[in-house]
């Protein structure tokens, strides 16, 4: 049963509830496959802040509304606003801030994945500690096929820690998505269940974790985080600029929004 949370997201495209010690944030744009708006990203950050302040919360679950997607990336229409080199750098910095805040939540986080977790959705899912997926789950970043932009060095590092350099390159070069079976074998998905069991299995796992010693869990989470190396953001700003300032990126956005195949020029 949902109870009073003490927190209301800034946008109706996010829903927040608490079931005992488990907080749940739902990305609530099923008509757009839960594609993220700027307000949703900011609301995600604020929800993470609230979870860390609320001593009643022991576990934080993130999920998508509907049965088509966890999150199908960033709402591409917003990229029409990109007119200067600084827009690309600011976008990636905000991605690092907002999605990185998911990674920084001191309490255990679980992504409950039904359908597509692509682009920004894959980034959010991989920022969580654990991932429970339905058999129809697919995860990846197909930007080489769709938009022609790139990833921040921190996002690359987040993917790299799960699948290794060879598979990262193969996945991003080919723009293919990982299905549930491959994701389970690679250790990306901690568990894979039939869609009708997804919520029950996720909540079962959340309740099991919530019953254990919070400081032990926190120490393990922070210890693992400290063992993972991160490159400096500044080390890859030239790569962000190369992709986002290209004619190909403008072509990719226009093609995506007009539902046609992009015509890549390599410039």
Averaged pLDDT score across all residues of the chain: 89
pLDDT tens-digit series, residues 11-59: 999 999 999 999 999 999 999 999 999 999 999 999 999 999 999 999 9
pLDDT for res 243: 65
Most confident listed range (70-79, 120-129, 152-161)? 120-129
Question: Is 229's pLDDT higher than 70?
Answer: no
Query: What domains are there in the chain, each with its CATH number?
Result: 14-196+213-257 (3.90.226.10)
Share of the chain above pLDDT 90, in %: 61
Q: What confidence category does residue 169 fall into, taking pLDDT thresholds of 50, 70 and 90?
A: very high
Q: What confidence category does residue 177 fall into, taking pLDDT thresholds of 50, 70 and 90?
A: very high
Starting at the edge strand that comes first in sequence, how are the strands of the sheet with 14-19 ordered? Answer: 14-19, 22-27, 59-64, 109-113, 130-134, 191-193
∠ CA 155-160-163, rounded to 5°: 135
Q: Are 72 and 116 in contact (CB under 8 A)?
A: yes
Q: Are 131 and 189 in contact (CB under 8 A)?
A: yes
Q: Which two tokens stand for residue 111?
A: 């992504």
Handedness of CA 52, 18, 40, 74 (dihedral sign): positive
∠ CA 236-146-87, rounded to 5°: 45
Question: Is 102's pLDDT higher than 60?
Answer: yes
pLDDT for res 236: 56
H or E element, residue 108? none
- DSSP assignment of 12-46, as one string? TTEEEEEETTEEEEEE--GGGTTPBPHHHHHHHHH
**C-alpha to C-alpha distance for 170 and 178, rounded to whole angstroms:** 11
pLDDT tens-digit series, residues 64-91: 999 999 999 998 888 788 788 788 788 8
Query: Residue 171: which residues within 8 A CB-CB, separation 6 or more?
Result: 140, 141, 159, 163, 178
Which residue bears the tokens 């805040």?
A: 101
pTM: 0.86
pLDDT for res 235: 55
Expressed in angstroms, the distance from the first to the final Cα of the chain is 54
Interval 144-161 mean pLDDT? 87
Q: Which two tokens stand for residue 137?
A: 């789950």
């Amino acid at each position: 049963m949902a109870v009073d949370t003490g927190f209301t997201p800034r946008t109706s495209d996010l829903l927040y509830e608490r079931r005992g010690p488990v907080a749940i944030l739902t990305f609530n744009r099923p008509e757009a496959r839960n594609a993220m708006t700027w307000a949703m990203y900011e609301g995600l950050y604020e929800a993470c802040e609230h979870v860390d302040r609320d001593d009643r919360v022991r576990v934080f679950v993130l999920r998508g509304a509907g049965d088509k997607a966890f999150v199908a990336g960033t709402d591409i229409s917003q990229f029409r606003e990109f007119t200067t080199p600084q827009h690309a750098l600011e976008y990636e910095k905000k991605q690092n801030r907002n999605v990185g805040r998911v990674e920084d939540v001191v309490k255990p986080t679980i992504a409950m994945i039904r359908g597509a977790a692509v682009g920004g959705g894959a980034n959010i899912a991989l920022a969580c500690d654990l991932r429970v997926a339905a058999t129809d789950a697919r995860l990846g970043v197909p930007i080489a096929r769709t938009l022609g932009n790139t990833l921040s060095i921190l996002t690359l590092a987040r993917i790299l820690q799960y699948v290794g350099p060879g598979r990262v390159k193969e996945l991003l070069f080919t723009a293919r998505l990982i299905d549930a079976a491959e994701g389970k074998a690679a250790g990306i998905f901690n568990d894979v269940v039939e869609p009708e069991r997804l919520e029950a299995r996720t909540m079962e796992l959340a309740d099991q974790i919530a019953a254990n010693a919070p400081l032990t869990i926190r120490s393990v989470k922070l210890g693992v985080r400290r063992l993972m190396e991160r490159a400096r953001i500044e080390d890859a700003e030239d790569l962000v600029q190369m992709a986002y300032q290209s004619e190909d990126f403008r072509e990719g956005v226009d093609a995506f929004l007009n539902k046609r195949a992009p015509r890549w020029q390599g410039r």
